[in-house]
A and B are shown apart, each in its own frame.
Chain A
């Protein structure tokens, strides 16, 4: 029911308390009734559920996670590389 995809706030209609958001290039509206007044601003990333903004995405945390993931990648690559080299060193076909 709620495989929500992150969206970006592009406009805010204060009168109706509604945000216009961009979700993968699709524009739609979402109610702001579950958020504090002025909590959501243009440019914020938010999560929607059935026509409402449920929460703001914490940018800092998202960036931090992505950074950690990149580090995992880099580290693994290095390890993999070392493994490959070692395997190569032990290769019986190379003829000593």
Chain B
């Protein structure tokens, strides 16, 4: 295998025999464990692969997955969606956002509903598509409803950069970018109080891989050091995940607690420094961001720096955007699922009142959400 082919990158990391090979090694290693290990995959991309490739079936009983906060779409609180809805309803605006946000219910309905009622809502594949929409609609204010973890944040700042450099006057931003390490701390802290009652705790993390492509692996350094939780940054392919699990088990059996990178083909220690510089240039940390199901998490979100307030839709429209917090559906246990305290099928309305076609909670909304993954691949459980 002298030269890499695109095919190797598709098939090589999905090879069923290699997955089986890792399953054997994991089973051998797991026999040496002194207690069961709960591994949280923070990222919805991992949850999706784990379910799609039926990985829980291949693992011994003393290895459990805990499904973490997952995706930017899952954690978007209703009040932020309401903001988008209200902005979209204005006569002179076009609201632009990424496709996944389409079905997420706010308290007035989803953006899809807003569009059905005549609001101009556009779903784009890339933030850059906003440029074309703005150019074709010079008399409209185009508002980019920006969502996403660290993975997606630099793409928004790249659009901001272009808007400023090209002096485009009709693009504005509603920023909802969130950051992973802060919520991981929150999950560890909130877990510990409940260890006894839930008999469930996070022993190790699979590091969200694409987040780390941007940030570098360095953002997880404090977890082994200060919180005594190993982190292995893993790719999204099933072989990547299996290898990372093996790496975690070896750490436990060898008495190590470290940050390791399985996904070296894309993740370096420092990450993408150009992307980081762009974020630094335009954004600063907001004091709080409310995560759907998890509540307020300090310093876990970004906002535009004050000098760019002229681009900030939240600032410009502050008169008409509500500030009250909104509770979730009372039967929805997304909060517990995101904290790793419950599994989707423990929700009493899972698959009945709440399904992908009629989602009541965020975990069912995004195709990468834990409930959606259980619904789709549940027969593999």
Binding between chains A and B:
yes
Where the two chains meet, the residues of A that have a C-beta atom closer than 8 Å to any C-beta of B are 1-8, 22, 24, 31, 33-36, 45, 47, 49-52, 54-55, 57-59, 61-63, 65-67, 69-70, 72-73, 76
Contact flag A1-B152 (CB < 8 Å), given A62-B9, A63-B1: yes
CA distance A31 to B210 in the complex (A): 17
A62 and B4 contact, CB distance less than 8 A: yes
Q: How far is the CB of A48 from chain B (nearest CB, A)?
A: 9
Main secondary structure of the interface of B (DSSP, over half): helix
CA distance A58 to B267 in the complex (A): 9
Q: 10 new A-B pairs (CB below 8 Å) besides A33-B161, A50-B98?
A: A2-B151, A3-B236, A31-B128, A31-B158, A34-B275, A49-B152, A51-B155, A61-B264, A65-B265, A70-B1
20 contacts between A and B (CB under 8 A): A1-B71, A1-B152, A1-B368, A3-B48, A24-B10, A31-B158, A33-B161, A33-B274, A34-B272, A35-B272, A36-B274, A49-B155, A52-B126, A52-B154, A58-B266, A61-B265, A66-B12, A67-B1, A73-B18, A76-B24
CA distance A45 to B5 in the complex (A): 9
Which residues of B (42-79) have their CB < 8 Å from a CB of A? 44-45, 48-49, 71-73
B52 — nearest CB in chain A belongs to which residue?
A3
Question: B214 at interface (Cβ–Cβ under 8 A)?
Answer: yes
CA distance A57 to B236 in the complex (A): 14
CA distance A2 to B210 in the complex (A): 8
B contact residues around A7 at 8 Å (CB): 6
Of the candidates A2, A66, A70, the one having the most CB atoms from chain B within 10 angstroms of its own CB is A2
Of the candidates A8, A35, A47, A54, the one having the most CB atoms from chain B within 10 angstroms of its own CB is A54
CA distance A6 to B100 in the complex (A): 21
A49 — nearest CB in chain B belongs to which residue?
B151
A contact residues around B4 at 8 Å (CB): 45, 59, 62-63
Return the contact of B214 from the options A24, A33, A54, A63 (Cβ within 8 A): A54
Q: How far is the CB of A74 from chain B (nearest CB, A)?
A: 9
A contact residues around B25 at 8 Å (CB): 72
Return the contact of A35 from the options B22, B98, B274, B368 (Cβ within 8 A): B274
Contact flag A57-B266 (CB < 8 Å), given A2-B152, A35-B274, A63-B1: yes
A31 and B126 contact, CB distance less than 8 A: yes
CA distance A54 to B263 in the complex (A): 14
Return the contact of B17 from the options A2, A49, A61, A73 (Cβ within 8 A): A73
CA distance A51 to B131 in the complex (A): 13
B127 and A2 contact, CB distance less than 8 A: no
Question: B138 at interface (Cβ–Cβ under 8 A)?
Answer: no
Q: How far is the CB of A24 from chain B (nearest CB, A)?
A: 7
Return the contact of B18 from the options A5, A31, A72 (Cβ within 8 A): A72
Return the contact of B128 from the options A1, A51, A67 (Cβ within 8 A): A51
